[in-house]
Amino acid sequence: MNILLGLLPFLVFALLEHAAGIAAGLSGAALTALGLCLRDWTGPRQHCGVIELLSLLLFGGLAVYAGVYAPNWSVMGVRLSVDAVLLGVMLASMLIGRPFTLGYTRPDTEPALWLSPRFIRSHYVVSGMWTAALAVVVLADALILVWPGTVLAGGVAMVLALLTASRFTTHYAASLRA
């Protein structure tokens, strides 16, 4: 569930950007990420999660960039940028041997299990699923940017990819606990 909460700034961005424009979406997402980081820093974790910190830097930086250098940036251009950076971070986390999902489960897991092959492998599986879902989202973003008439198909693909990753995570975690 913490993974889904970590993605909240991306949802806030999508909702606000659609309702009030790019600047509102980027600013709202940055503030949401800041709130999540403050919650993490003052809570039991005492550190900000990778996705939350990325969100804070990404949305804050893009808000400044869009305001100063690209006031007429297209919605799909912004979305593609946001999703591509998130995908890159997810891929990089696995390539360096620290799947991004590790930080979300360690507070609830006994430290003795952190280095077990099963624990690490499970995080590669879950991180891989979310990374695959984000790859679909990035491809759909690019498709919509190039061919705006594909917005419905692209939107459906995005929703299905994210729902699939979410359901997979829930079921996979339950199967590991059993």
Dump the DSSP string for 106-145: GGGS-GGGTT-HHHHHHHHHHHHHHHHHHHHHHHHHHHHH
Q: Which amino acid is located at 33 in the chain?
A: A
Closest by CA position to 140, among listed 89, 96, 76: 76
Q: What is the pLDDT of residue 118?
A: 86
Which pLDDT does position 159 carry in this prediction? 93
Q: Which of 50, 3, 8 is nearest to 173 (CA)?
A: 3
pLDDT at 124: 94
- Give me the pLDDT at residue 31, please: 95
Q: CA 35, CA 56: separation in Å to the nearest integer? A: 9
Give the Cα separation of 38 and 9 in Å (integer).
14
pLDDT at 29: 94
Tokens of 57: 């830097």
Per-residue pLDDT of the chain (178 residues; tens, 9 = 90+): 566 777 889 889 989 988 888 889 999 999 999 999 898 788 766 777 778 888 899 999 998 888 888 778 888 888 899 899 989 989 999 999 889 888 777 666 777 777 788 888 999 999 999 999 999 999 999 999 999 999 999 999 999 999 999 899 889 988 887 7
pLDDT at position 165 is: 94
